[in-house]
Amino acid sequence: MLNDTKHLSVQSFQRNQGLLEALNNFLIYLKLKSKGLDSKFKAEKIEEAKATILLFLKQLNDVVSEDNNMEAPSTRLLGLDTRFKSLVSQFNEAKGKKRRFKSVLFRQNPTPVIQMLNKDEIGSSKELIDSLTELGNLIEDHLSTDTREVIGDI
């Protein structure tokens, strides 16, 4: 039987794998669109990927948004599982790593990226592509921690 830490790591691993798959599919779509090429993805698959990304960004935004400054950050983190808290901490740390994380997502917060994704016609905005690429990098970093927790150091 899994202990609580491993169980949360397994859940986090699965959640992050799904998010990473959605990010990769959506990024392929956006990059091909920016080159004027057809991605051959079904519209449903793109909408599903977009919905997954939006849900995650909204959850992240609820915790990290500067608009929530009435609450102490620690209050906003109550009730979150420890792995999501860790991801939020990594996101906040990444905002300080301006050489690696340069996109609007990390210069500000998730709100501008959510707004770009909510547009009726999503363009192939370099800013959106950069933000989602950097988010994918952050998720991959977080995923490696979950992987080590689940299967150990090999």
Distance CA(78)–CA(56), nearest Å, equals 17
Determine the residue type at 71: E
For residue 88, how far is the Cα from the chain centroid? 10
pTM: 0.82
Low-confidence ranges of the chain (pLDDT < 70): 1-6, 8-9, 65-80, 120, 123-124, 146-154
- The pLDDT score that the predictor gives to residue 150 is 63
CB-side exposure of 70: number of CA atoms within 13 Å? 3
Distance CA(130)–CA(137), nearest Å, equals 11
pLDDT tens digits, 25-68? 999 999 988 888 887 888 899 999 999 999 999 999 998 865 44
